[in-house]
Amino acid sequence: MTENLLITGGCGFIGSHFIRLLLKNTNVSITNIDALTYASNKENTEDFENNPNYRFIKVDITKKDELDKVFDQTYDMIINFAAETHVDRSIENSHSFVHTNVLGTYYLLQKVLDGKAKKMLQISTDEVYGSLKVNEHPFKETHPLSPNNPYSASKASADLLIHSFYRTYKIPVMITRCSNNYGPNQNSEKLIPKVIFHALHDKKIPIYGDGQNVRDWLFVEDHCKAIYTIMVNGKPGEIYNIGGSNEKSNIEIVKIILNYIGKSHDLIAFVTDRKGHDRRYGIDWSKMKNGFNWQPNTPFNRGIKMTIDWYMNHQDWFHTSSNVEQV
Protein backbone atom coordinates (compact mmCIF):
# COMPACT_ATOMS: atom_id res chain seq x y z
CA MET A 1 0.00 0.00 0.00
CA THR A 2 1.28 3.47 -0.89
CA GLU A 3 1.84 5.30 2.37
CA ASN A 4 3.46 8.65 1.62
CA LEU A 5 1.94 10.71 -1.19
CA LEU A 6 2.77 13.98 -2.89
CA ILE A 7 -0.39 15.39 -4.44
CA THR A 8 -0.07 18.36 -6.74
CA GLY A 9 -3.04 20.64 -7.34
CA GLY A 10 -4.82 19.31 -4.29
CA CYS A 11 -6.73 22.54 -3.70
CA GLY A 12 -8.50 22.15 -7.02
CA PHE A 13 -11.85 20.51 -7.63
CA ILE A 14 -10.85 16.88 -8.25
CA GLY A 15 -7.66 16.96 -6.20
CA SER A 16 -9.40 18.12 -3.03
CA HIS A 17 -12.11 15.47 -3.39
CA PHE A 18 -9.40 12.84 -3.82
CA ILE A 19 -7.52 13.95 -0.71
CA ARG A 20 -10.76 13.89 1.27
CA LEU A 21 -11.43 10.32 0.10
CA LEU A 22 -7.97 9.18 1.17
CA LEU A 23 -8.06 10.85 4.59
CA LYS A 24 -11.46 9.31 5.34
CA ASN A 25 -10.62 5.80 4.24
CA THR A 26 -6.86 5.25 4.62
CA ASN A 27 -3.93 6.10 6.88
CA VAL A 28 -1.74 7.57 4.14
CA SER A 29 0.38 10.64 4.74
CA ILE A 30 -0.34 13.41 2.26
CA THR A 31 1.65 16.46 1.20
CA ASN A 32 -0.47 18.75 -0.94
CA ILE A 33 1.24 21.40 -3.07
CA ASP A 34 -0.72 23.99 -5.02
CA ALA A 35 0.07 27.37 -6.57
CA LEU A 36 -3.40 28.66 -5.57
CA THR A 37 -4.23 30.18 -8.94
CA TYR A 38 -7.77 30.89 -10.20
CA ALA A 39 -8.16 27.14 -10.85
CA SER A 40 -7.83 26.21 -7.17
CA ASN A 41 -9.43 27.31 -3.91
CA LYS A 42 -8.04 26.96 -0.40
CA GLU A 43 -11.64 26.69 0.85
CA ASN A 44 -11.76 23.24 -0.74
CA THR A 45 -9.43 21.89 1.96
CA GLU A 46 -10.76 23.64 5.07
CA ASP A 47 -12.51 20.55 6.43
CA PHE A 48 -9.32 18.49 6.57
CA GLU A 49 -6.48 21.01 6.82
CA ASN A 50 -5.90 20.12 10.51
CA ASN A 51 -5.74 16.38 9.89
CA PRO A 52 -2.43 15.06 11.30
CA ASN A 53 -1.83 13.05 8.12
CA TYR A 54 -2.05 16.14 5.92
CA ARG A 55 0.20 19.10 5.19
CA PHE A 56 -0.08 21.90 2.65
CA ILE A 57 2.76 23.83 1.01
CA LYS A 58 2.12 26.64 -1.45
CA VAL A 59 4.29 25.71 -4.44
CA ASP A 60 4.26 26.34 -8.17
CA ILE A 61 5.44 23.14 -9.88
CA THR A 62 7.01 25.19 -12.69
CA LYS A 63 9.40 26.85 -10.25
CA LYS A 64 12.18 24.36 -9.67
CA ASP A 65 13.59 26.05 -6.55
CA GLU A 66 10.18 25.97 -4.87
CA LEU A 67 9.60 22.37 -5.88
CA ASP A 68 12.99 21.26 -4.53
CA LYS A 69 12.00 22.32 -1.01
CA VAL A 70 9.04 19.93 -0.99
CA PHE A 71 11.29 16.92 -1.36
CA ASP A 72 12.43 16.77 2.24
CA GLN A 73 11.48 13.09 2.04
CA THR A 74 11.08 10.37 -0.56
CA TYR A 75 7.48 9.92 -1.67
CA ASP A 76 5.93 6.60 -2.54
CA MET A 77 3.98 8.27 -5.33
CA ILE A 78 3.34 11.63 -6.96
CA ILE A 79 -0.23 12.13 -8.13
CA ASN A 80 -0.31 15.08 -10.50
CA PHE A 81 -3.62 16.95 -10.62
CA ALA A 82 -1.93 20.34 -11.11
CA ALA A 83 -2.91 21.83 -14.45
CA GLU A 84 -4.40 24.77 -16.24
CA THR A 85 -7.72 23.32 -17.43
CA HIS A 86 -10.05 26.04 -18.73
CA VAL A 87 -10.36 25.79 -22.51
CA ASP A 88 -11.51 29.35 -23.17
CA ARG A 89 -8.57 30.71 -21.20
CA SER A 90 -6.19 28.53 -23.24
CA ILE A 91 -7.60 30.00 -26.44
CA GLU A 92 -7.15 33.54 -25.15
CA ASN A 93 -3.62 32.93 -23.82
CA SER A 94 -1.97 29.55 -24.25
CA HIS A 95 1.40 30.37 -22.67
CA SER A 96 0.51 29.47 -19.08
CA PHE A 97 -1.04 26.19 -20.24
CA VAL A 98 2.10 25.06 -22.01
CA HIS A 99 4.23 26.31 -19.13
CA THR A 100 2.31 24.57 -16.34
CA ASN A 101 1.06 21.44 -18.04
CA VAL A 102 4.26 20.56 -19.88
CA LEU A 103 7.16 22.10 -17.96
CA GLY A 104 5.57 21.35 -14.57
CA THR A 105 5.06 17.72 -15.54
CA TYR A 106 8.66 17.51 -16.71
CA TYR A 107 9.97 18.74 -13.35
CA LEU A 108 7.90 16.12 -11.54
CA LEU A 109 9.13 13.35 -13.84
CA GLN A 110 12.68 14.46 -13.15
CA LYS A 111 12.06 13.96 -9.43
CA VAL A 112 11.00 10.38 -10.07
CA LEU A 113 14.05 9.85 -12.26
CA ASP A 114 16.25 11.26 -9.48
CA GLY A 115 14.78 8.83 -6.94
CA LYS A 116 12.88 11.49 -4.97
CA ALA A 117 9.61 9.65 -5.64
CA LYS A 118 9.06 5.99 -6.43
CA LYS A 119 6.14 6.33 -8.87
CA MET A 120 4.00 8.93 -10.60
CA LEU A 121 0.36 8.98 -11.65
CA GLN A 122 -0.65 11.64 -14.18
CA ILE A 123 -4.27 12.83 -14.20
CA SER A 124 -5.03 13.63 -17.83
CA THR A 125 -8.20 14.13 -19.87
CA ASP A 126 -10.26 12.61 -22.65
CA GLU A 127 -9.78 15.86 -24.57
CA VAL A 128 -6.36 14.66 -25.74
CA TYR A 129 -8.15 12.28 -28.12
CA GLY A 130 -9.87 15.07 -30.02
CA SER A 131 -13.45 14.81 -31.25
CA LEU A 132 -15.71 11.86 -32.04
CA LYS A 133 -18.30 11.62 -34.79
CA VAL A 134 -21.93 11.05 -33.76
CA ASN A 135 -21.93 7.26 -34.20
CA GLU A 136 -18.24 6.62 -33.59
CA HIS A 137 -17.20 4.20 -30.81
CA PRO A 138 -16.09 5.95 -27.58
CA PHE A 139 -12.40 6.58 -27.04
CA LYS A 140 -10.26 3.59 -26.06
CA GLU A 141 -6.79 3.96 -24.57
CA THR A 142 -5.33 3.08 -27.99
CA HIS A 143 -7.14 5.91 -29.78
CA PRO A 144 -4.62 8.28 -31.44
CA LEU A 145 -4.05 11.65 -29.81
CA SER A 146 -5.56 14.50 -31.80
CA PRO A 147 -6.05 17.55 -29.54
CA ASN A 148 -7.89 20.53 -31.02
CA ASN A 149 -7.25 23.38 -28.58
CA PRO A 150 -4.21 24.67 -26.67
CA TYR A 151 -5.39 23.16 -23.37
CA SER A 152 -5.83 19.64 -24.72
CA ALA A 153 -2.63 19.96 -26.75
CA SER A 154 -0.68 20.83 -23.59
CA LYS A 155 -2.14 17.82 -21.79
CA ALA A 156 -1.37 15.53 -24.73
CA SER A 157 2.18 16.89 -24.76
CA ALA A 158 2.54 16.02 -21.08
CA ASP A 159 1.20 12.52 -21.74
CA LEU A 160 3.75 12.00 -24.50
CA LEU A 161 6.52 13.24 -22.24
CA ILE A 162 5.47 10.74 -19.58
CA HIS A 163 5.40 7.94 -22.13
CA SER A 164 8.91 8.87 -23.29
CA PHE A 165 10.25 8.78 -19.73
CA TYR A 166 8.72 5.34 -19.23
CA ARG A 167 10.19 3.96 -22.43
CA THR A 168 13.59 5.65 -22.13
CA TYR A 169 14.28 5.52 -18.39
CA LYS A 170 11.93 2.70 -17.32
CA ILE A 171 10.52 4.76 -14.45
CA PRO A 172 7.12 3.61 -13.09
CA VAL A 173 4.57 6.10 -14.40
CA MET A 174 0.88 5.80 -15.29
CA ILE A 175 -1.75 8.00 -16.93
CA THR A 176 -5.49 8.32 -16.35
CA ARG A 177 -7.81 10.02 -18.84
CA CYS A 178 -11.21 10.98 -17.52
CA SER A 179 -14.38 12.40 -18.98
CA ASN A 180 -16.06 15.63 -17.78
CA ASN A 181 -16.35 15.71 -14.00
CA TYR A 182 -19.16 17.34 -12.05
CA GLY A 183 -20.09 17.68 -8.38
CA PRO A 184 -19.80 20.03 -5.38
CA ASN A 185 -16.98 22.59 -5.13
CA GLN A 186 -16.27 22.85 -8.85
CA ASN A 187 -14.85 26.10 -10.18
CA SER A 188 -17.69 28.44 -11.13
CA GLU A 189 -16.28 28.93 -14.62
CA LYS A 190 -17.26 25.37 -15.53
CA LEU A 191 -20.48 24.43 -17.29
CA ILE A 192 -22.71 23.05 -14.54
CA PRO A 193 -21.95 25.55 -11.74
CA LYS A 194 -22.07 28.40 -14.22
CA VAL A 195 -25.52 27.40 -15.49
CA ILE A 196 -26.77 27.01 -11.91
CA PHE A 197 -25.47 30.47 -10.99
CA HIS A 198 -27.06 32.11 -14.01
CA ALA A 199 -30.36 30.32 -13.47
CA LEU A 200 -30.55 31.26 -9.79
CA HIS A 201 -30.01 34.92 -10.71
CA ASP A 202 -32.26 34.92 -13.81
CA LYS A 203 -29.30 35.77 -16.02
CA LYS A 204 -29.02 34.74 -19.67
CA ILE A 205 -27.14 31.47 -20.16
CA PRO A 206 -24.83 31.79 -23.21
CA ILE A 207 -24.49 28.51 -25.08
CA TYR A 208 -21.92 27.96 -27.82
CA GLY A 209 -23.18 27.14 -31.32
CA ASP A 210 -26.27 24.96 -31.45
CA GLY A 211 -25.70 23.45 -27.99
CA GLN A 212 -25.40 19.94 -29.43
CA ASN A 213 -21.78 19.37 -28.37
CA VAL A 214 -21.78 16.12 -26.40
CA ARG A 215 -19.76 15.27 -23.28
CA ASP A 216 -19.58 12.17 -21.08
CA TRP A 217 -20.30 13.14 -17.46
CA LEU A 218 -18.66 11.50 -14.44
CA PHE A 219 -19.46 12.26 -10.81
CA VAL A 220 -16.29 13.45 -9.10
CA GLU A 221 -16.42 10.92 -6.25
CA ASP A 222 -16.62 8.05 -8.74
CA HIS A 223 -13.59 9.47 -10.50
CA CYS A 224 -11.65 9.68 -7.24
CA LYS A 225 -12.43 6.05 -6.40
CA ALA A 226 -11.12 5.05 -9.81
CA ILE A 227 -7.91 7.00 -9.23
CA TYR A 228 -7.46 5.28 -5.88
CA THR A 229 -7.95 1.89 -7.54
CA ILE A 230 -5.24 2.71 -10.07
CA MET A 231 -2.97 4.12 -7.38
CA VAL A 232 -3.06 0.78 -5.59
CA ASN A 233 -3.34 -1.68 -8.48
CA GLY A 234 -2.23 0.10 -11.66
CA LYS A 235 0.69 -1.13 -13.73
CA PRO A 236 3.61 1.07 -14.83
CA GLY A 237 3.42 2.29 -18.39
CA GLU A 238 -0.34 1.84 -18.61
CA ILE A 239 -3.08 4.32 -19.56
CA TYR A 240 -6.52 4.01 -17.97
CA ASN A 241 -9.69 5.66 -19.29
CA ILE A 242 -12.26 6.65 -16.65
CA GLY A 243 -15.76 7.48 -17.85
CA GLY A 244 -19.32 7.80 -16.65
CA SER A 245 -21.29 6.44 -19.63
CA ASN A 246 -23.47 9.55 -19.40
CA GLU A 247 -23.16 11.21 -22.80
CA LYS A 248 -25.34 14.32 -22.93
CA SER A 249 -25.42 17.43 -25.09
CA ASN A 250 -24.74 20.81 -23.53
CA ILE A 251 -28.28 21.98 -24.25
CA GLU A 252 -29.65 18.87 -22.55
CA ILE A 253 -27.58 19.60 -19.44
CA VAL A 254 -28.80 23.19 -19.35
CA LYS A 255 -32.45 22.17 -19.67
CA ILE A 256 -32.10 19.56 -16.91
CA ILE A 257 -30.75 22.23 -14.56
CA LEU A 258 -33.39 24.80 -15.50
CA ASN A 259 -36.18 22.27 -15.05
CA TYR A 260 -34.92 21.18 -11.63
CA ILE A 261 -34.56 24.75 -10.36
CA GLY A 262 -37.87 25.74 -11.94
CA LYS A 263 -36.58 28.39 -14.34
CA SER A 264 -37.68 29.22 -17.89
CA HIS A 265 -35.84 27.95 -20.96
CA ASP A 266 -36.06 31.54 -22.16
CA LEU A 267 -32.84 32.14 -20.22
CA ILE A 268 -30.98 30.19 -22.92
CA ALA A 269 -29.06 32.37 -25.36
CA PHE A 270 -27.08 30.87 -28.25
CA VAL A 271 -23.81 32.61 -29.10
CA THR A 272 -21.02 32.23 -31.67
CA ASP A 273 -19.33 28.85 -31.34
CA ARG A 274 -15.97 28.40 -29.61
CA LYS A 275 -12.92 28.17 -31.84
CA GLY A 276 -11.91 24.55 -32.44
CA HIS A 277 -14.91 23.29 -30.45
CA ASP A 278 -14.89 19.48 -30.21
CA ARG A 279 -18.26 18.01 -31.15
CA ARG A 280 -18.36 14.90 -28.99
CA TYR A 281 -16.42 13.07 -26.30
CA GLY A 282 -17.13 9.54 -25.15
CA ILE A 283 -15.10 7.19 -22.97
CA ASP A 284 -14.75 3.41 -23.21
CA TRP A 285 -13.78 2.42 -19.65
CA SER A 286 -13.93 -1.35 -20.19
CA LYS A 287 -10.24 -1.67 -19.27
CA MET A 288 -11.08 -0.41 -15.76
CA LYS A 289 -14.07 -2.75 -15.49
CA ASN A 290 -12.28 -5.84 -16.78
CA GLY A 291 -9.02 -5.20 -14.96
CA PHE A 292 -10.22 -3.90 -11.59
CA ASN A 293 -13.99 -4.46 -11.51
CA TRP A 294 -14.45 -0.68 -11.26
CA GLN A 295 -17.55 1.08 -12.47
CA PRO A 296 -19.19 4.46 -11.79
CA ASN A 297 -21.78 4.15 -9.03
CA THR A 298 -23.62 7.47 -9.30
CA PRO A 299 -26.43 7.62 -11.88
CA PHE A 300 -26.50 11.02 -13.56
CA ASN A 301 -30.05 11.83 -12.49
CA ARG A 302 -29.04 11.38 -8.86
CA GLY A 303 -25.62 13.02 -9.16
CA ILE A 304 -26.91 16.14 -10.89
CA LYS A 305 -29.64 16.63 -8.27
CA MET A 306 -27.07 16.28 -5.48
CA THR A 307 -24.85 18.77 -7.28
CA ILE A 308 -27.55 21.37 -7.90
CA ASP A 309 -28.75 21.08 -4.29
CA TRP A 310 -25.21 21.66 -3.04
CA TYR A 311 -24.79 24.87 -5.04
CA MET A 312 -28.24 26.11 -4.06
CA ASN A 313 -27.27 25.60 -0.40
CA HIS A 314 -23.81 27.15 -0.86
CA GLN A 315 -24.48 30.22 -2.98
CA ASP A 316 -21.58 32.02 -1.34
CA TRP A 317 -19.39 29.66 -3.40
CA PHE A 318 -20.02 31.84 -6.43
CA HIS A 319 -18.07 34.73 -4.96
CA THR A 320 -15.07 33.08 -6.62
CA SER A 321 -16.62 33.61 -10.07
CA SER A 322 -14.42 35.43 -12.55
CA ASN A 323 -14.50 35.47 -16.34
CA VAL A 324 -16.87 32.55 -16.73
CA GLU A 325 -16.78 30.48 -19.90
CA GLN A 326 -19.54 30.18 -22.45
CA VAL A 327 -21.15 26.77 -22.45
- Catalytic residue, from 54, 75, 129, 151: name it: 151
Helix (H, G, I), strand (E, B) or coil at 239: strand
H/E element, 78: strand 77-80
Active-site residue flag, 54: no
- Cα angle 164, 124, 154 (rounded to 5 degrees) comes to 70
Active-site residue flag, 76: no
- Catalytic residue, from 84, 126, 189, 278: name it: 126
DSSP-derived letter for residue 104 is: I
Q: How far apart are CA 209 and CA 316, in angstroms?
A: 30
Closest among 101, 27, 311 to 187, alpha carbons compared: 311
Q: How far apart are CA 40 and CA 211, in angstroms?
A: 28
Q: Is 293 left (phi over 0), alpha (psi -120 to 50) or beta?
A: left
Closest among 181, 191, 187 to 220, alpha carbons compared: 181
- Catalytic residue, from 84, 127, 216, 247: name it: 127
Active-site residue flag, 151: yes
Q: How far apart are CA 144 and CA 286, in angstroms?
A: 17
| Sequence-ordered alpha helix ranges (H) in the chain | 13-25, 64-70, 87-92, 95-98, 105-113, 150-169, 191-200, 220-233, 250-261, 286-292, 300-313
Q: Which residues are catalytic?
A: 126-127, 151
